[in-house]
Structures are given as C-alpha cells and as structure tokens.
Amino acid sequence: MAQEGMIPMFGIAQYGEAYRNGSLTPNQVIADHIGYAKKVSQKCNAISVLNPRAEELAEASTERFSQGNAKGPLDGVPVVVKDSYHMKGLKRWHGSAIHDGDDPSAFSSEPIQKLEAAGAVIVAKTTMPDMGMLGSGISSQFGIVRNPWDLSKSPGGSSSGVGASLASGLAAFGLGTDIAGSVRLPAGHCGLAAIKPTQERIAYSPASVMRSSGILSRSISDVEQVLAIVGTSSESDPWSLPGAFEAKQVGDILARKPKVGLLLDMGYGASLDPVVSSFVVRASERLAQMGCQVEPLSLDLTDGDFSNADRVFKAHAAAEIRSSRHPEAVLDYVAEWVKEATELSMADYEDAMNGVLSTACHVIDETKRFDYLISPVIPVVGFNADIPGPGDDEQLLHHTQFTAWFNQTCQPAAVYCEGVDQASKLPVGIQIVAKRFDDAGALAIAGALEQSRPETINYPHFEGVPEYGC
C-alpha cells in the first residue's frame, strides 16, 4: 500500500526556484523521476512507456540554467502525459490492445510540441482505458490502473495513469484528454486540481471537435501556469480559439458578487452520495461568505438525454475499433457496449447528434442566469478498480452525469480537491463550471476554494518518491 504522512511535493514554482539557486538541477530531478516512475508503474500500473529522451532533455535544460538562459517557468519541470497523445517516435496504444503492433507515432500532438518548446521534460506516457471510453482505468492493453490512495480503488478515467502518477508524487503536472470527464474524473478520484477548458482553448493535433486537451496538477496555480503555455492558438488546429489564456485575480471576480448555481441533481445518473453532497455544500457556503450569491439549481435531464450522447460515443468507438489492427482484442466491456453502434443507421446517428445538441442548448438555457456552477465531479466516493463505474457494467459512462454535458456545451470546468472522506480515506473533488471562454474565472473560483479549504491534503506516496524539502 502507499505510504502515509506529509512530504513536500514540488510544484512548478518550487522547481524553478531550486534550479535558479542551484540547489537542484534538471538532471538530478529527471533521473529521480525516471526511477520513481518504475515504482509507480509497479504499484499503480500507471506508466505506458518511459520517454527515452528525458535525460537528454534534462541535460539541455541543466545547461540553460547554468548559463542563466532558462526558457521560462516550465523549463526542466517533470511532466507526464496520457497515452492518447502522439509523441514522435513513441508507441501510442490509445489504451487498447486493438492498436498493439502499430507503428510509433510519426509526429507529436500540438500540446506536446508546446510543452517541449517551453523546456518541460516529459518523463513518461501514462496508461488509460480502451479509447478513453471508460470512466475507470481498465484496459485491454495495460490491465487495471489503480489509485494510490487505495490500491483496490479506481483512479477514474480515462486519464487514469496521469491521475495516479500525480497523486503518487510523480511529476509536477500532466496532460490528459476529456470527452465526457476524462480529465476531471481522475482529478476527483485522486485529489487533484484540473481544467477541462473551453473547447479548443488548447489546440490539438489531430484536430477534434469532440476531444478536449486538459491539465491536471496538485494545485490550481500550477494548472494556470501550464494553461498559459498550452492555451494558445495554433494554425495546426483549424478550430483552435484565437488569443491565449490569461489568469484573473479572484478579488476582481468576487467584487462583482457573482451568481453561483449549486448543482446537486442532473436528473439522471448514479445516486449522489450524502458525503459528496456535504462537501459540495460546505464549499458553496464558503463562496457565500466570499460574497457570491449562491442559489440551488436542478436540471431535469433524463436517461433519454444520456442515451443520445451514449450512442454518439459508441459510434465514435466503433469506428476506431473497425479500422484497427486487432479489432477482436478490444476490452470485453467495450465490445459489448458498442454492439448497438453496428445496428445504427446514418440517420440514427444524426438523430442522436441532434439530440445531444438540443440537450446542450437546454443546459445552457437553464444555467445562463448564473456566472458559475458548483457541483460534484463524481456522485460517489470512489469505486473498485476492476469495474467500469458504479452500476456502469452496461452503460459505461452513466456515472459521468456531472461532467459529460459541459463538454457538449463547450464550457470550461475546473476541479480542485475539497478534502478527504474520513471513512474511506479517499479524496472528494469539486467542479466549478463557468460560461464559455471564462476559463480564468473557473480557475480563480476553484483556486479561492482550494486556498480556503479547512484541511491540508497529504498525498499518498511510495518508497523512492522525489523529496527535496521546502
């Protein structure tokens, strides 16, 4: 099991300060992280492949710091990225044995290019479930990914390995992808901070209108620093937003006394655990103390709304399976789940897509009177690592009701850890949703709540965790 007790886990600013004053070098830090990645892989099954260029990149970063010529705040900082990203020369399975034997990636995805240009050192790619189609960490290629808080529990999905790595003390931040909550769910399960930004705030290659790149870390401030680097427009992605992300001061936001909707009921999905509800209400009460106007909100979505989204996801997965090298190797849960897609006509798909768009418009209309929403990330306090989700054996994403629709509305959604449930010893995350393009506001509100939470988060760790003192 993971060890308990408070140890210092460096963030971006601490690495930069240590590199500048000479108490650490990128060479030392990256060597430590490569060694620790093997331990995290052994315990949590979180690593898909180590980056063979990590030490070379650390050497170049060390040389830049020695000459007083660092590239910026991310130079030399250790990073992990999800298997779904392409990294030139490295294997990409997209979480599934259907791609086993595929050639290594011939290019690097846009966010990877931006991290490398900023001097960040990617230590490893991390594990994920088949095609990102589960909210847990079960994979036909990698097996079961586990949560370091409790190795019998799931780290969430589909950015499973990123979540498990960061919660274990491996890397300062990570990149995931999010199609129905795949950045935010692991953040919630693993006690992390995260952002699923406004769709296309982070340019992606290959371009996608469904998938959103996102950031996970142990603090909102680190998430903001990374988004300032990767959240810029790019010609490689025809849908990427113009301009660049800029953080906001929370005081400026609170001075406007924003209206906040307390969202505890989406209308369908897994039942909300009273423990989770109590954490969300506690956080909402602090927002009221900060001057926000907090009002309860319920949405009347139905299983019919979910079914439309589910059909679109099934079609998305079925197309990838059909075109793969080993379609028969897909995870059994996913193979059973996508069967409906083989029976859908093009008109059926269009009907489902139109239904999704109609529901997204309904969500926007019902919430437009609020500046921000506060909600759970996950309706339960964790679940076992060997299942897709609470009651999700057939409906793989049914428990994602609080996250999935804000992909469809294209709204930014930030996550922070509100605290740890004393009964289960598992963390509980909170989601802050903002209006489209107000990524900075979502992060600022989440950051204010993170800074004011009534407890310190002591992350689990394993023997050999990089520990440098503060």
> What is the token pair recorded at 112?
């990877």
- The structure tokens listed for 398 are 């049914």
Query: Would you give the distance in Å from CA 409 to the centre of its chain?
Result: 18
Tell me what percent of the chain is helix, strand and coil, each rounded to the nearest 5: 40, 15, 45
Question: Which one is catalytic: 108, 154, 165, 182?
Answer: 182
Give whole-number Cα distances, 95 to 6, 128, 192, in Å. Answer: 33, 5, 22
Catalytic residue among 61, 96, 158, 165: 158
H/E element, 201: none
Tokens matching residue 195: 């952002």
Helix axes 220-230, 12-21, angle to 10 degrees: 80
Mark whether 323 is an active-site residue.
Answer: no
The whole-angstrom separation of Cα 347 and Cα 185 is 32
Phi-psi region of 308 (alpha: psi -120 to 50; beta: other; left: phi over 0): alpha
Q: Is 96 assigned a catalytic role? A: no
Residue 113 makes CB contacts below 8 A (sequence gap 6+) with none
Can you tell me whether residue 8 is helix, strand or coil? coil
Active site residue 158: yes
**Residue 22 falls in which region: left (phi positive, over 0), alpha (psi -120 to 50) or beta:** left
Instruction: Provide φ and ψ at 312, rounded to 5°.
Output: -65, -45
Which one of the listed residues 43, 48, 82, 324 is annotated catalytic? 82
Residues assigned a catalytic role: 82, 158, 182
